[in-house]
Structures are given as structure tokens and as C-alpha cells.
Amino acid sequence: MGDMFRRYGKSATFIICLITAFWLLMLVILPNVTLLESSFRPLLPVTEIGGPNDQYTFANYLKVFNGSIDTTLMGIPVHIPVHVLTFTLTLFYSVVVTLLCFVLAYPLSYFMAKIISPKSLPTMFLLLFVPLWVSEVLRAFAWWIILALKGPLSSLLVWLHLIDQPIRWISGYNGVLIGLVYTYVLFMIFPVYNAMSSLDSNQIEAAEDLGSPWWRTHLRIVLPHCKPGIASGAVMVFMLSAGSLLVPTILGSTTSQWFTQTIQQWMFDALDWNTAAAYAFLLLLMCTLFVSLVMRLFRVKLADIAK
Amino acid sequence: MSAGIDLENVCCDFGSFRAVDNANVSIEPGEFFSFLGPSGCGKTTILRMISGFIEPTHGQIRIGGMDMRGQRPNQRPTALIFQNLALFPLMSIWENISFGLEVRGVDKKTRRAKAQALLDMVDLPDAADKMVSQLSGGQKQRVAIARALAVEPKVMLLDEPLSALDLKLRQHMRAELRTIQKRTGVTFIYITHDQGEALAMSDRVGVMSQGRIQQVANPRDIYNNPVNGFVAAFVGENNIFTGSVANPSGGMAGFDTAFGRLNARLGEQAKGDNIKLYVRPEHTILTETAGSENTIPVTVSEVSFEGAFIAVHAKTENGQTLVAEVRNDGSATVPSIGAKRFASFNAAHASILPDASKGA
Ligand SMILES: Nc1ncnc2c1ncn2[C@@H]1O[C@H](COP(=O)(O)OP(=O)(O)O)[C@@H](O)[C@H]1O
Ligand SMILES: [Mg+2]
């Protein structure tokens, strides 16, 4: 702070602080507080707002437990509220997306950080970044076209005689998984790559010199070193996936439902913003809880991730 | 427990650059062998070829008589101590030391006991449960040695392991390394750019320059009988005279210089042009009266006190500076600046050598 005074002078510092405060307060805190407040209020006709029925209540939150259905989860028949089911599936598939992203990102990061020559790194990064220049909507649609029943992927595989019938790729959660992995894998690659490139190559060689086979070197040396990077990538991919609306909307099938789609239905189909807000906060809260639980399980500290 | 190492016509190319050029050397089992040379001369490259991280472009490396081509570092009976030690910062000290046993499937109790025994040996009995970051430079050094010894290598490879330590600790660790080597009987291949270190510790030294091994000999011969000007200059100071060889006979020769004919031993590789005469400052003496041979009149220009010895700089008539060192044992008479003296040296202590560092 004192440093800022010296560098920019009093008035400039004041203005900078003011702008930051405005941005935080008006664009981040206030809308969220308003939403949080309305999530505790019942949906009422305009005339009754502020009237005797306008009481704070948890009713909006408890709506997730309405309307149970019979289904099977991993072979076990269950009787479960439909929104809780959606929520559980959203969390589950977000975890799957996170794992898939890690499985893709780890070898790629290792390859970029430790194997290819630094000269070809800019090309690699360019290849990774180019898809980002196209909007997310277009990319999701591109996948929709690729994965369509009579789309290029099926045609190619049929032409190669690898399959004899076109495959319906977009069924269940497949399309959503592919789309989410494709959209968010970079958020895993960069932190893991960063962690990986900060690892002294001599440590890998030292392990090998002491007789370690490659897989054990990864398990004992590379993976532990990259843990903070993996954790921060995983948190990002998980949160973004669970909160994604676009990809599940475009690449979802008739049998896939994402929790954000439920929120959207409350908002635009039922026009009940209060319940939508309650659901949104529920999602935020549960995801945060889930992430902290997993972080504790893997002994990752918040400070590691922030690095 | 230890193995010899043979390098036969070993070359290593990086693209068009030849980092190691036709290295031939046989290292005995149980020997303490040093590669000595300036930075960038290819020492690390030789070590990495022996440990298996680089395959030689040509030639053969044998360890204990076995050709090592195609053997990965984890299959060779060598243990490398890296220039930066490369300890594992996320493991405790004892886990570091027993990592090599862990990958061999040794159970935890045995590993722990072995690590403790090695820690006792390197004089760090209480360090087992500490983390790497809690140790000082010298202690990390010992842990690295213990970690390498844990896998019971036949050959230890050390890449400038003491360069990061301060002078006192370095001298202490020299003695310690030597003791450990004697006690374990393992072949040590030691790399350094510090000639004092190489001469003090080694059974034999290989002096390198620009990818070539210039001379392999015991420290005494390296210092007293260097094969060329590079070796002579790298392991010590010299007074150097230019001139040409005259009537060589029986290992001795005359050498015609601007100061008349000087006599010296004739080096084996002293052929062709670019031949010079080298004599060490401690073999150069200053006297008040002219001697019978190898005498040059000089004027004292500078006296510098170095502690254990005193270096007297003196200018010849044609402006060349000669240095004479006298031991500071109390008996030495130090001339004052401007005094006229005669510099002289014994022919047996002077060598006529080729100047070019790349031998014939
Ligand atoms: N991987 C490499 N690729 C290209 N050149 C290299 C490589 N490793 C070493 N060199 C070059 O080989 C020469 C010898 O290197 P090195 O063996 O590390 O020297 P030293 O250990 O004696 O200081 C240096 O000029 C260095 O630049
Ligand atoms: Mg080196």
C-alpha cells in the first residue's frame, strides 16, 4: 500500500482503490447477496411482495426433495427425488470429467515439460491454444456435428470397416462428457504443466539411477511434486464442469440432465427465480463442500493450490 | 564389491559438436580416479555416459569387463551423485537414503535400519526423520553420499559434489570422501575443475581439455611431469619461455631463447613448432650472484605475501615477468622492490613441452 502511494501518488491510488471497490461491491457482492436473499423468499404475485406471506423460509431449498422416482444407480434400485438424482449424477459425471482430464493432461504435460526440446514448445502451446480462439458455442456445435449419428466420425469408422453400423455417440451422458473434457482439459494441462516444469530433471534421473523403474519414478517423485498443480487443475475442471450449462444443453441427449439445466428450467420455464437462486446456491455450496472434502482426503492445503 | 571401468575410443557428439573425443582410459577396481578440466570440457558428459544417461556415439564402455551398450541407468552397477545432489525434497532423510532399497522391494524395517547404519557412517546419526530443507549444505552432501552407497554400487560417480560448499567445509569433505572410499573399497570416479581437489584426493587423475583426455597419471606425475602446456598450466603456475630446441640428447635438451641457451628436460610430445619451456615458480630461485646455468638477470618489481609462501615478481631486461616463490619459513630473505637479482632454475625442474592443448 505504501509502495502504491509512492509510485502513483495519492489521488491515483485513491481512484484505483475506488474502482476496485466498485467492481467488487456492485458487480460481484451485491448481485450475489441479492440473489441469496431472494432464495429464502417464496415466489409470490407482485401484489403480495412485502405482504404478510413474504416470510423468510427454507422452502425453496427443500424443493429438491420433491417428486421421487424409481431408478437404478449402478445396479442398485433406489427410490430417489428426481432433483437429488440429477444433482448426484452431475457431481458424479463432473468427477469423471475431472479424472479424464487428468488422464489426458498428465502425460501431455510430462511430454511438454520433460521430453520435447524447448524449441518446439511455442508450437505446442499454439496448437493447444488455437481451439480457444473459436467460441465455446461453436466448439460444442462442432462436436455435435462430429458425433452426430450420420456424422463424420461414424462415417469414417464405417469406411474403415471398424464398425458396420453408425454409432449413436450422443446418448446418455457421453456427449456431455466428451464436450466437457474437450472444453476444460486446458484448465488441467496448464497447472500440471507448470508444476511439472518446476521439477528438477535431475530428480527423475536420480531416481532412475537408483534403480527405479519409470512407473515408480512417476509414483514417488513426479506425481507428489505435481500434487498442488493437479489439485488446482482438478478443482477448476470440477467446478467449471458442474457449473457448465452450455455443453450439457448442446451435447446432452434425451436421457441426460445436468443440474444447471434444472436451475435454468426453474428460471425460464417456471419463471421462479427464487427457487432457481436457491438451487444455484445449493450447487455452489455442495460443490465447495465436496471439493474441501476431497482436498482433505488427499492432504492438499488451500495455500498449495493458490500458488 | 568394486569394478573397473574401461573406456575404449569413446566419443560423444551433440549434433555436429564433439563433446568427448576418443577417450581411452582404464580405471582399476577400487581406484579413486578424477577427471580434471575446465568447465565445458566434457567431464559431465563422460560421467553421464558411464552412468547410462547418454549413449556414446562411438566406442565402448565396459564396467567390470561387461559391455554397457543398451543398459539403462537403472540396470548399471553405478550410482551417480549429481552436481546439485538432486535429493528428494518431499521425502524424509531416511526415505531418501532407502529409496534405492525401496525400489528393490526391501521391507520397511530393513530399509530403516540400513538407512540408520549409513547415517551413522556419514556422521549424521540424528538426521533420519528430518526433511532435506532442514539440513545444511555439508549435511545434504553426506545424505547424497549415503543415498548412493545404499544401493551398494560397484562404481560411484561424483559430479563436482563439493563445488557448492565453502572452503573449510570443502577441505573437510575431501578427507571424508577419501575415508569413505577407502572404507567401502568402491571405485570412485570424481569430477572437478579444482586442481587442488583432484591432486589431493585421487589415486590417478585424467586431465581433460576440449573433449580430449590430455594425460592420465598419478597426481605427482601430473604436477611434475605434465605432457603439454595445457596440463602444466591447469595444475599450477608457470614461468614460460619461448624459443627453439637445440641438440636434444638423453631426455634433456638445450632451448634457445632471448636470454640465451637454457637447459631443460625434453617432453615426449615436444615436436613441431609451438614448443615452450615451463618452469614452476617454486623451482625458480633468485640469487644475488649469477649461477652457472639457466640464469637470467632480473629486477624485482613486486613482492606479494601469500601466507604460506611469498611470491616475488621480477622483470627481465625485455620486460617479461618471472615469478619466484619462496616458502615463508622465516629463513627466506625477501628482496626489496627494484633490487637487481639473478633468476635461475635447475634443468631437472624445467620441461620443454608443446603449447597446444590438443596433442598430436
Ligand atoms: N545435451 C547437450 N546438447 C548439446 N550440447 C551439450 C549437451 N550437454 C553438454 N553439451 C556441451 O558439451 C560440452 C561439454 O559439456 P559438459 O560435459 O557438461 O562439460 P563439463 O561438465 O566439463 O563442464 C559443453 O560445451 C556443453 O555445452
Ligand atoms: Mg559439469
Nearest to B2 by CA among B67, B92, B108, B77: B77
**What is the reported pLDDT for A68?**
81
Contacts of A239 (CB under 8 A, 6+ apart): A287, A291
Q: What is the mean pLDDT of residues A233-237?
A: 94
- Helical packing angle, A136-147 and A152-159, nearest 10°: 40
Is A203 in Cβ contact with B53 (below 8 Å)? no
Here the ipTM equals 0.83
Share above pLDDT 90 across residues of chain A, in percent, rounded to a whole number: 48
B27 lines ligand 1 (CB under 6 A): no
Q: Give DSSP secondary structure letters for B96-124.
A: HHTHHHHTTT--HHHHHHHHHHHHHHTT-
Cα(A207)–Cα(A214) distance, integer angstroms: 9
Cβ atoms of B214 and B43 within 8 Å: the answer is no
Q: Return the ligand 1 atom nearest residue B46 CA.
A: 17
**Chain B residues within 8 A of A221 when measuring between CB atoms:** 88
A66-305 fold:
MetI-like fold (1.10.3720)
Q: What is the mean pLDDT of residues A2-23?
A: 84
> Dihedral (C-alpha) A87, A92, A95, A97: value to the nearest 10 degrees?
-90
Q: What is the mean pLDDT of residues B22-38?
A: 96
Cβ atoms of B128 and B115 within 8 Å: the answer is yes
Q: Mean pLDDT over all residues of chain A?
A: 89
List, in sequence order, the alpha helices (H) in B202-358: 219-224, 229-234
**What is the reported pLDDT for B32?**
96
Other C-beta atoms closer than 10 Å to the C-beta of A37 total 12
Residue A203 has pLDDT above 80, yes or no: yes
Is A224 in Cβ contact with B90 (below 8 Å)? yes
Please, what's the b/e burial string for B71-98 (b: 16 or more CB within 10 A of its CB; e: otherwise)? Answer: bebbebbbbbbbbbbbbbeebbbbbbbb
**What is the reported pLDDT for A258?**
94
B38 lines ligand 1 (CB under 6 A): no
Residue A158 has pLDDT above 90, yes or no: no
pLDDT band at A1; cut points 50, 70, 90: low
Nearest to A96 by CA among A184, A167, A170: A184
Lowest mean pLDDT, pick from A77-81, A230-234, B259-263, B269-273: B269-273
Q: What is the DSSP letter of A220?
A: I
Q: What is the mean pLDDT of residues B16-38?
A: 95
Identify the three-state secondary structure at position B60: strand
Lowest mean pLDDT, pick from A45-59, A131-145, A269-283, B319-333: A45-59
Which candidate from B87, B91, B151 shows the least CB-CB separation from A211?
A: B151
Which candidate from A200, A220, A224 shows the least CB-CB separation from B86?
A: A200
Cβ atoms of B341 and B286 within 8 Å: the answer is yes
In the reported structure, the alpha carbon of residue B355 is separated from the centroid of ligand 2 by a whole-number distance in angstroms of 25
Lowest mean pLDDT, pick from A101-115, B133-147, B161-175: B161-175
Convert the pLDDT of each residue in A66-111 to its tens digit. Answer: 888 888 777 888 888 989 999 999 999 999 999 999 999 999 999 9
Residue B161 has pLDDT above 70, yes or no: yes
Q: How far is CA A113 from CA A121, A130, B74, B234, in A?
A: 9, 20, 22, 39
Identify the three-state secondary structure at position A60: helix
Other C-beta atoms closer than 10 Å to the C-beta of B216 total 20
Which candidate from A205, A211, A221 shows the least CB-CB separation from B88?
A: A221
Residue whose cell numbers read 615426449? B268
Residue A303 has pLDDT above 90, yes or no: no
Cβ atoms of B261 and B254 within 8 Å: the answer is yes
Q: Which of B45, B51, B57 to mutate to test the pocket of ligand 1 (most atoms within 8 A of CB)?
A: B45
- The ligand that comes nearest to the alpha carbon of residue B41 is 1
Q: What is the mean pLDDT of residues B47-54?
A: 95
Lowest mean pLDDT, pick from A129-133, A189-193, B149-153: A129-133
Q: Return the ligand 1 atom nearest residue B48 CA.
A: 17
B336 lines ligand 1 (CB under 6 A): no
Cβ atoms of B346 and B283 within 8 Å: the answer is yes
Share above pLDDT 70 across residues of chain B, in percent, rounded to a whole number: 98
Strands, sheet with B260-266, edge to edge from the N-terminal-most edge strand: B239-242, B275-279, B350-354, B260-266, B252-257, B244-249
Lowest mean pLDDT, pick from A203-207, B120-124, B205-209: B120-124
Q: Where are the domains of chain A?
A: 66-305
Q: What is the DSSP letter of B131?
A: B
Cα(B110)–Cα(B117) distance, integer angstroms: 11
pTM of the model: 0.83
pLDDT band at B358; cut points 50, 70, 90: very low
